[in-house]
């Protein structure tokens, strides 16, 4: 028997799983390339042409390490938000920032509150530090603010996670409801407000940018509307002391030179962002229309995807997804109870939505036949 260095008890107890099976792995398994890649909430509209040109221009400079201070990007983000540089931190997408926040506020055995079926990567970070996940069911396909608040108070939780707009349902709360929720939170509980889809949401869904709340940490990303998912660059803003604590533990060379430059250029081209937001809205409308034409019920969305109620149970929705995958249409679906009656379709280019319109009737027929 081989003797190995022992893992920590927390890591040794974790299952050997990952949050997502990527489309690349599915393509390797099937031997086919997806004709429509509309499952990962990426932006196939791509980044601004200015971003692409700038990335090509600086490619020769990638022999250098990045600026470990993320200085230029932090300054630009601070100006964009109307904040000071010390109120902004940059990380490897929201996923990287979530990992830091969990490490900052969760000790082994601590209760951490989230919604049942919400973004699963957050749950993996909680498990990785030995936190005790407490989940609250959705209500009417939205995260339950009252349920989350009750769980926080009952469990005396140091951390609660909320996404607005929400993934995987695409739903949202108006800012006045969020402010009511924030006001009611214990001051000892940190709220992570994940606004990955903030750019595609109604302005009324985003609370005013302010950093007076010392128990609020807001996160945004360049992965969605800005079209830079492959770059892995996101940012957080909060009270200066909260950000100073992030700076203590972040990976200072984690955001590459290319990512910092791309983020800076993307932020500067707000006119292109506006054009993408319009294309996202048009694609959401088209996906909703395709769903209705096939007897399905789209859920109103403020994100770059549409979650579609298949009208039956989880098994039926799974068959619909599997039949679309078998027709080289990559989509995903919620997996939590109640939500799992749905499939989730990301916006895409016209030709990708043409493929969806072509293949969905046959996928539904096959699912119904089985």
Could you read off the pLDDT of 225-279 as tens digits, one per residue? 999 999 999 999 999 999 999 999 999 999 999 999 999 999 999 999 999 999 9
3-state per-residue secondary structure call for 101-155: HHHHHCCCCCEEEEECCCCHHHHHHHHHCCCEEEEECCECCECCHHHHHHHHHHH
Strand, helix or coil at 343?
strand
Stretch 315-336: mean pLDDT, rounded? 97
Pairing of strands 132-136, 111-115: parallel
What percent of the chain stands above pLDDT 90? 97
Whether 129 contacts 112, CB under 8 Å: no
Stretch 71-91: mean pLDDT, rounded? 98
Q: Is the pLDDT of residue 46 over 90?
A: yes
65 exposure class (CB count in 10 Å sphere: 0-12, 13-18, 19+): exposed
Angle between helices 257-268 and 71-81 (to 10 degrees): 30
Phi, psi of 191 (to 5 degrees): -100, 120
Supply 355's token pair: 């493929």
Output the pLDDT for position 213. 97
Output the pLDDT for position 21. 86
**CATH numbers and ranges of domains, the chain:** 21-46+271-369 (3.90.1150.10), 49-268 (3.40.640.10)
Output the pLDDT for position 155. 98
Strand, helix or coil at 216?
strand
Supply 237's token pair: 């803003």
Distance CA 243, CA 222 (A): 19
308 exposure class (CB count in 10 Å sphere: 0-12, 13-18, 19+): buried
Question: What is the per-residue pLDDT across 162-204, written as a single tens digit (0 to 9) for each?
Answer: 999 999 999 999 999 999 999 999 999 999 999 999 999 999 9
Output the pLDDT for position 16. 85
Task: Please list, in sequence order, all residues whose beta carbon lies within 8 angstroms of the beta carbon of residue 290, skipping any fewer than 6 positions away.
Answer: 353, 356, 357, 360
Among residues 214, 168, 194, 26, the alpha carbon closest in space to that of 95 is found at: 194
Whether 74 contacts 98, CB under 8 Å: no
Output the pLDDT for position 242. 98
Whether 292 contacts 278, CB under 8 Å: no
Average pLDDT, the chain: 97
Output the pLDDT for position 9. 94
Q: Is the pLDDT of residue 143 over 90?
A: yes
Output the pLDDT for position 352. 98
Output the pLDDT for position 30. 92
Question: What is the per-residue pLDDT across 332-367, written as a single tens digit (0 to 9) for each?
Answer: 999 999 999 999 999 999 999 999 999 999 999 999
Strand, helix or coil at 277?
helix
Strand, helix or coil at 30?
helix
Whether 252 contacts 90, CB under 8 Å: no
Burial 12-31 (b: 16+ CB within 10 A, else e): eeeeeeeeeeebeeeeeeee
Q: Is the pLDDT of residue 18 over 90?
A: no
Supply 36's token pair: 């429509």
Q: Is the pLDDT of residue 45 over 90?
A: yes
Whether 200 contacts 206, CB under 8 Å: no
Output the pLDDT for position 108. 97
What percent of the chain stands above pLDDT 70? 100
3-state per-residue secondary structure call for 158-169: CEEEEECCCCCC
Among residues 73, 123, 153, 138, the alpha carbon closest in space to that of 307 is found at: 138
pTM greater than 0.85 (yes/no): yes
């Amino acid at each position: 028997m081989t003797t190995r260095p022992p893992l920590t008890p927390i890591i040794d107890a974790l299952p050997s799983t990952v949050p997502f099976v990527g489309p690349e792995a599915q393509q390797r398994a099937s031997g086919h390339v997806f004709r429509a890649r509309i499952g990962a909430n990426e932006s196939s509209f791509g980044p601004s042409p200015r971003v692409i040109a700038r990335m090509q221009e600086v490619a020769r400079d990638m022999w250098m390490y990045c600026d470990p201070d993320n200085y230029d990007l932090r300054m630009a983000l601070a100006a964009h938000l109307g904040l000071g540089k010390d109120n902004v931190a940059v990380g490897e997408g929201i996923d990287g920032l979530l990992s830091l926040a969990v490490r900052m506020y969760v000790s082994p055995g601590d209760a951490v509150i989230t919604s049942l079926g919400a973004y699963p990567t957050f749950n993996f970070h909680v498990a990785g530090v030995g936190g005790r996940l407490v989940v609250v069911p959705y209500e009417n396909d939205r995260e339950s603010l009252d349920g989350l608040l009750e769980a926080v108070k009952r469990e005396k939780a140091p951390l609660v996670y909320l996404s607005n707009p929400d993934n995987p349902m695409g739903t949202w709360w108006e800012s006045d409801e969020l402010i009511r929720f924030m006001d009611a939170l214990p001051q000892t509980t940190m709220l992570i407000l994940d606004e990955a889809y903030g750019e595609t949401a109604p302005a009324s869904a985003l609370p005013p940018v302010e950093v007076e709340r010392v128990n609020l940490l807001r996160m945004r990303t360049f992965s969605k509307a800005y079209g830079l998912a492959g770059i892995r660059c996101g940012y957080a803003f909060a009270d200066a002391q909260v950000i100073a604590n992030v700076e203590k533990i972040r990976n200072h060379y984690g955001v590459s030179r290319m990512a910092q430059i791309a983020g800076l250029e993307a932020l500067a081209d707000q006119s292109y962002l506006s054009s993408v937001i319009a294309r996202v809205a048009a694609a959401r409308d088209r996906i909703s229309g395709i769903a209705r034409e096939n007897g399905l019920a789209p859920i109103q969305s403020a994100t770059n995807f549409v979650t579609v109620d298949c009208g039956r149970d989880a098994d039926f929705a799974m068959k619909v997804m599997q039949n679309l995958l078998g027709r080289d249409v990559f989509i995903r679906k919620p997996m939590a109870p109640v939500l799992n009656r749905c499939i989730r379709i990301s916006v895409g280019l016209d030709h990708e939505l043409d493929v969806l319109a072509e293949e969905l009737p046959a996928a539904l027929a096959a699912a119904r036949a089985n």
